[in-house]
Structure formats: structure tokens, C-alpha cells
Amino acid sequence: MHSRRILQPIAALVLGLSAATAGEASSHREAPFITTQPKVDGTDLYMFRSYEAGRSGFVTLIANYQPLQDAYGGPNYFAMDPDALYEIHIDNDGDSRADITFQFRFAVTYKGITVNGNTSGGPSVDNGIPLINLPPSDSTTPTLNAVETYKVKMVRRTNGHRTTSAITDRFTGSPTFTKPVDNIGTKSIPDYEAYANQHIHEIAISGCNTTGRLFVGQRREGFVVNLGPVFDLIHLNPLGARNSAATSSNPTGNILADKNITSLALELPISCVTAKDDPVIGAWTTASKRGPFEESVRWKQVSRLGNPLVNEVVIGITDKDQFNASKPDDDVANFGRYVLYPTLPVLINALFGVPAPPTPRNDLLAVFVTGITTGATDTPPNLKFTAPKNLTVPGEMLRLNTAIRPVVPGTGSYSDLGFLGCDLAGFPNGRRVTDDVVDIELTAAEGSLTQFNNLQTCDLSGTTPSVKNPGAVVNDGALPDPTEYLTVFPYLNTPLPGAR
């Protein structure tokens, strides 16, 4: 066991290297090419059993795009790319290939609103206005000069055959949905929360007896990280209090607290996304591009995200673009060495002379690639936690055991450390919006799952899960605050307005 005095600089280096490669959030600007394409930059993927009251029979998936949105980013704000294909993929049979894919395509219609620019009399000179909005009709009805719409298709793969169907509004039958404009400010949209809620749609899903829900629009950024002190020569205590970065003006220590994000959110019946004999599903999100007027050209995948921070702190810098263009069933051949023999612990050992966790890192392989097979004491008993029952092809993706009961953040057995806090409904069993994945992954990287450095973990060997070494958590000083999130769909809170 290493002393606290030695572990502190090790943890600081882990955090510093992680932040240096992570840009400014979970998967924001994480690879060379994607820095030039912010509209298709997938930043975070969440997947969890819905914890809204009465919705535990559903799973929620949220794919976030367009990082680091300043609320005042007008006049065009953050429309999605009409020349891109955004997708959320689900694998439910353990072969690391998509069995169900939801495809999102966007379009913008310009209304061409004009005003007479001639203020001196005579003939009217009608010119187009430079803004996307005019004074609102009422508190929830903005007058828009540009309207963004989208369609969603579901692709199912069964026995090698693909079938495609449109997602439609349950009540109108329309396959076209309107995306709410971003939160321009309180004068343009006095009641943005009510306005955005009008764009939560109950949807009909082909092959499902139960309807789901859909929302696409701007949300408040939910990812939590504290970067300022890290770049100030690691001006923090990584083994101190987990809220050590908090101040009166920034009570969570989260440097992203003033940012927004764009969410593609789906709530789907569990029975429609799982295989009959396996409650575990895997998911990842991708974005693909082709140029305008190139409908016959094949899509080129440019962004990919499953688990948080993988492309930042695991994949080598020369392979980051390749990872973003790849599929999970190719991961073992292309990137397996990065997980089993990670470079970060080697650097720590070289700099500090402290032994890294022994390799191969099968503990990290389980978290990111195969799922965890440790039995969990939940109902039904003796689950494999996140390992698919019929796993045939390992691949990196976010995995969720839908048989494990949801836990509402801030209540009961909830822990923002997920598994490390013995909250088996949290990361790496899926990922809730309130899970502190930075602290979880940094602690796991230093060997918590194998008790290498006596860091906090959950012991499942007994009849009741118990936390071991509580408080020994490698952390960045920033904490998620459950009160800053919704407990109803779409869970991420109302975006910050550009002007108050």
C-alpha cells in the first residue's frame, strides 16, 4: 500500500494528463479532425433505466452534440448539421453490431421575413432581417425566421436483414418533428421551460406495443469537470475532499457550469430494445458526414462515443481519428492493446517510481469492452452485472443491465460514484446524467477494481454490497449536484438563456 503523500502527486498526474487530452469535457474536441467539425462532435452518451416516477419500464438514451455552447452564441446559435447523419446504436445480442439504430436527419427552413428598410418615404425596400427571431407572440411562442425540423428512422437488423421504419408522433402520425430554437433569452422566449416541453413527443415505434418519448433540443450541459486548477500547475488536492474546488460563486467547482449542449433524447420501452433471454444492452452514438448535394455518396463516420473518456485517455493520439471512424466489432484488433496495456500507468511509474497496476488490465477490459461478470445481488439474483449473456464479440460501448432497479439521484442508495459507491444502477452500469464519471474512471485507472492501491470500490462477495475504503477517491474537486438536474425526461435541465 502506498502512502497518501505519494498517492497525491500520482493522482495529480493522472488528472493532469487526463484533462490535457480531454479538451474541456467528456468527449469534447477529443481528436484532431473532429475539432474542425463541432456540429458533429459527440460529447457524451447517457443510458439508464428511467427513474422518473412511473417510467421504470423504460430506458433513456441521451446523445449530446456540439460542445461548449455559450448561451449568448447568436445570431445563428447552434442548429444541427443538415448534411450529417446522427445515430444512436443498440446491440442486444452480444456481437458488438447494431441490432437497432435510430437515425436523425435535420433540415432548416428559412422564412425569409423582411422589413421595409426605407425610412425616408417612397418605394418600399424590403430586406431580409439578420436575425432568426422577432418579438414573440406570447411567453411560449417565439416568432422565428428559421425553423429547424428533423426526422427519425429506426433500422432493425434481424438475421442479417435490415428493415427501416419511420418514428412518428403518436397523436398526429407525422414523421416530422420541430426542434425548439435555442434559449436566445428571456425577451425572445419568456418561458423557455414551457416552450421546450411542448417539443417532448410521445412516439409510435414499429414493432412495439408501447409508445416511447422523444426530445431533441438544447439543454444545460450536464458533464462536470474542474479544469482551471489542473492547468494552474495542478492547483488542487486529488485525494482531498471531492468538492474541494467549490467556491461561493461556483458551488460545485464545475468549470462547465455556464455551458449548454444539444441533446438527442429517446425514452424506449425496455421490452422493445432487449433480447428475450438477456437484459443487458450496449449502446454508442455516431455522426457521419457527406457534402451538400451528395446524396449518392456513402456516409463517412467522423464521430463515435460509447463510454466517456475512452478516446481521450486510452487511445493513442495517432489513432484517435481512426477510433472515431471505427465500429465496436473491430475494437479488439484495432485498439485492444490500449486497454489491456494502458500507457498512463507506465508514465506514472516512470515519473514517480510507483508500480502501476499489473497488466494485462482485465479489470479495465471488463469495464469498457466485455462488461463486468461479477455477480450482483439484485433482483433477479446473480446477474452478470453488465456482461451480455450471449457475448460473442467484445467491443467498446456503454452497457446497461436493464434488470437492475433504477435509483433516483439524491435519494436512498444513490451514489454519484455509481459502482464504486455500491449504487449498482450507476456507471459503469449505463450512465446517468448525475454520475461523476471523471472520479470513477480516474479511481479505476489507479486500480480500485482490483484493490491495487486500496482505493474505494464495492465489495459484492457478501450477501449485501458494501463499500470498501470509503473516501479514497482520485478526484478533480468538482461534484455533480443532483438538484441541478431534472428527475423527469429529458433529465438534463433547461438551458441557460443568452440574456436574462
Q: How many CA atoms lie within 13 A of 435 on its CB side?
A: 29
Using CA atoms, how far residue 467 sits from 362, 417, 441, 446, 453, in Å, is 21, 11, 17, 17, 15
Per the structure, the count of domains in the chain is 1
C-alpha span between 7 and 299 (Å, rounded): 47
Domain range for 232 is 4-484
Instruction: Spell out the alpha helix ranges (H) of 137-235.
Output: 192-197, 228-231
C-alpha span between 38 and 476 (Å, rounded): 26
C-alpha span between 76 and 69 (Å, rounded): 12
Residue-wise DSSP of 48-92: EE--STT-TTEEEEEEEEEEEEETT-TTT--PPPTTEEEEEEEE-
Assigned domain for 499 exists: no
pLDDT digit string (tens) for the chain, length 500 residues: 333 333 343 333 333 333 333 344 455 544 456 667 889 999 999 999 999 999 999 999 999 999 999 999 989 899 999 999 999 999 999 999 999 999 999 999 999 999 899 999 999 998 898 999 988 999 999 999 999 999 999 999 988 899 999 999 999 999 999 999 999 999 999 999 999 999 999 999 999 999 999 999 999 999 998 766 544 544 556 667 888 888 777 888 888 899 999 999 999 999 999 998 899 999 999 999 987 777 777 899 999 999 998 887 788 889 989 999 999 999 999 999 999 998 877 775 675 455 789 999 999 999 999 999 875 444 444 557 899 998 999 999 999 999 999 999 999 999 999 999 999 999 999 999 999 998 999 889 889 999 888 899 998 888 888 999 999 998 888 899 999 999 999 999 999 999 98
Are the beta carbons of 253 and 230 closer than 8 angstroms? no
Assigned domain for 22 exists: yes
C-alpha span between 491 and 265 (Å, rounded): 9
Stated as kind and residue range, the H or E segment containing 142 is: strand 141-144
Evaluate the CA torsion angle 383, 384, 385, 387 in order and state its sign. Answer: negative
Assigned domain for 491 exists: no
Cell numbers 488536492: residue = 237
Assigned domain for 490 exists: no
Q: Which residues contact 341 (CB under 8 A, 6 or more apart)?
A: 359, 360, 361
Q: Where are the beta strands (DSSP E) in 205-291?
A: 212-220, 259-269, 280-289
Instruction: Read off the pLDDT of residues 316-373 as tens digits, 9 standing for 90 and up.
Output: 889 989 999 999 999 999 999 999 998 877 775 675 455 789 999 999 999 999 999 8
Assigned domain for 398 exists: yes
Farthest CA pair distance, the chain? 87
Assigned domain for 386 exists: yes
Assigned domain for 496 exists: no
C-alpha span between 430 and 400 (Å, rounded): 4
Are the beta carbons of 397 and 100 closer than 8 angstroms? no
Q: Which amino acid is it at 488? A: V
Assigned domain for 476 exists: yes
pTM for the predicted model, two decimal places? 0.91
